[in-house]
C-alpha cells in the first residue's frame, strides 16, 4: 500500500497522461505497450516510490529491441480478464476495473 510506479524511457520519465498506447498499472507496476513502433526501442527502467517511507528505488534498465525477421512470436493473441466475483464500492466512490488484450 502507498506505492507509486513510474517508468523511465532512455533517462526521461514517461508521461502517460495523454498516451493511448502505453499504460502503467498502479496495482502491479507493469508497463503495457500496444502496437510497438520503432521509436519505442530503447531502455526502460521502473521506479517505485513510497510517500510514507519518503523513498524512491529504481530497478535495472530493460532494453526493448525490434526483431529483424518480422516474426511476432509463437503465441496467439488472447483476451485475459481477471475480475473478482464481486466488487464492492461505497456510493459515490470511484472504481477502476482493468482488462487487457495480450498477444505477440
CATH of the domain at 56: 2.60.40.10
Sequence-distant (6+) residues with CB within 8 A of 34 are 20, 21, 22
Q: Which structural domain range is residue 56 located in? A: 3-102
- What SS3 state is found at 40? helix
**Size of the chain, expressed as the number of residues it contains:** 104
Write out the chain's pLDDT in tens, 104 residues: 578 888 899 999 887 776 778 888 877 888 888 878 888 889 999 888 887 778 888 888 888 887 776 565 555 555 555 666 777 778 888 777 666 555 55
Q: How many domains does the chain have?
A: 1
Write down the pTM of the prediction.
0.61
Amino acid at each position: 500500500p502507498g506505492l507509486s510506479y513510474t517508468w523511465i524511457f532512455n533517462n526521461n520519465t514517461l508521461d502517460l497522461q495523454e498516451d493511448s498506447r502505453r499504460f502503467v498499472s498502479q496495482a502491479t507496476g507493469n508497463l503495457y505497450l500496444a502496437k510497438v513502433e520503432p521509436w519505442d526501442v530503447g531502455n526502460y527502467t521502473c521506479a517505485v516510490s513510497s510517500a510514507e517511507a519518503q523513498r524512491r528505488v529504481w530497478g535495472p534498465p530493460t532494453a526493448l529491441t525490434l526483431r529483424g525477421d518480422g516474426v511476432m512470436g509463437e503465441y496467439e493473441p488472447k483476451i485475459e480478464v481477471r475480475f473478482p466475483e464481486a466488487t464492492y464500492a461505497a456510493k459515490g466512490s470511484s472504481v477502476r476495473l482493468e482488462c487487457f488484450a495480450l498477444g505477440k
